[in-house]
């Protein structure tokens, strides 16, 4: 049992906050930015996800996002996503995700804050128009009714998080009894500060990641396994209590 040591503490966890990243979605077949899957047609994905790249070549960036979106739409939530959703039967659960794929919501999670936006949303680069993508665009890059270029409503490297979403994330982290950091190395700011807010409430920190991260030494418990394998076992503790 990966979580055997927590058996007697389960009743203390009234509010559980998950911080999730690309690792949990990778288990559903969605490539991560970093590592060998991070290249797209010989372009570095981390360099494509910037406002400069978009203005340099909006057509190329839109091609990449259209391909990513089709990959995401064909993906299904894995056992990690499903376990987080099931946990709502036993505790107050909030998901603070760096992912833009909507798989937590697909799995049934009802309280999800998307820190980095959503791949199914668009906004204008100039006016305040924003919406969900209903159909594929006939032109590339797509244009707003005002005549300016539309862009994916996601947070690119170097951009600020949506302020309202970030403020809610801090509040939830501050109120948590337990924070589980799943499938993320937490190298991206400001999401990597969320465990600090949880600690201010004396929350327990658990890391679920097959690999050691820069944050591992700050954790109370580290589980060296994937979310899809570890999180269903964590939920089973609640069923037996």
Q: Does the annotation flag 209 for ligand binding?
A: yes
**Angle between helix 227-239 and helix 79-86 axes, rounded to 10 deg:** 30
User: Known binder of ligand: residue 236?
Assistant: no
183 annotated to bind ligand: yes
216 assigned to a ligand binding site: no
116 a catalytic residue: yes
59 is annotated as contributing to ligand binding: no
The answer on whether 185 is annotated among ligand-binding residues is yes
Q: Per residue, what are the HEC states of the chain?
A: CCCHHHHHHHHHCCEEEEEECHHHHHCCCCCCCCCHHHEECCEEHHHHCEHHHHHHCHHHHHHHHHHHHHHHHCCCCCHHHHHHHHHHHCCEEEEEECCCCCHHHHHCCCCEEECCEEEEEEEECCCCCEEECCCCCCCCCCECCCCCEEEEEECCECCCCCHHHHHHHHHHHHHCCEEEEECCCCCCCCHHHHHHHHHCCCCEEEEECCCCCCCHHHCCEEECCCHHHHHHHHHHHHHCC
- Which residue, among 50, 15, 24, has the nearest Cα to 198 in the 3D structure? 15
User: Binding site annotation covers 99?
Assistant: yes
Q: Is 78 annotated as a binding residue?
A: no
Longest dimension (CA), the chain: 60
**Is 189 marked as a binding-site residue?**
no
Per the annotation, does 195 bind a ligand? no
The C-alpha atoms of residue 21 and residue 186 are separated, in whole angstroms, by 8
Q: Is 57 among the annotated ligand-binding positions?
A: no
Select which of 104, 116, 130, 172 is catalytic.
116
Tell whether 197 is in a known binding site: no
65 appears as a binding residue in the annotation: yes
Residues marked as binding for substrate? 65, 68
Which residues are part of the catalytic machinery? Answer: 116
Residues marked as binding for NAD(+)? 98-101, 183-185, 209-211, 227
Residues marked as binding for Zn(2+)? 124, 127, 144, 146
Residues marked as binding? 65, 68, 98-101, 124, 127, 144, 146, 183-185, 209-211, 227
């Amino acid at each position: 049992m990966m979580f055997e040591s927590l058996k007697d503490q389960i009743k203390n966890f009234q509010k559980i906050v998950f911080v999730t990243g690309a690792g949990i979605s990778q288990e559903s077949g969605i490539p991560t930015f970093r590592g060998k899957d991070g290249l797209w047609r010989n372009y570095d994905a981390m360099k494509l996800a910037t406002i400069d790249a978009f203005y340099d070549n909006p057509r190329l960036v839109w091609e990449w996002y259209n391909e990513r979106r089709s990959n995401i739409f064909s993906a299904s939530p894995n056992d990690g996503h499903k376990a987080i959703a099931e946990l709502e039967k036993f505790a107050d659960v909030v998901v603070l995700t760096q992912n833009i794929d909507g798989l937590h919501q697909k799995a049934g999670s009802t309280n999800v804050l998307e820190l980095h936006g959503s791949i199914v949303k668009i906004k204008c680069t100039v006016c305040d128009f924003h919406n969900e993508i209903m159909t594929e665009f006939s032109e590339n890059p797509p244009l707003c009714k005002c005549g300016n270029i539309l862009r994916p409503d996601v947070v690119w490297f170097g951009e600020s998080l949506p302020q309202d979403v970030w403020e809610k994330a801090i509040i939830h982290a501050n109120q948590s009894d337990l924070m589980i950091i799943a499938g993320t190395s937490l190298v991206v700011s400001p999401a990597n500060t969320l465990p600090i807010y949880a600690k201010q409430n004396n929350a327990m920190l658990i890391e679920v990641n097959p690999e050691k991260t820069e944050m591992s030494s700050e954790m109370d418990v580290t589980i060296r396994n994937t979310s899809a394998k570890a999180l269903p076992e964590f939920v089973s503790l609640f069923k037996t209590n």
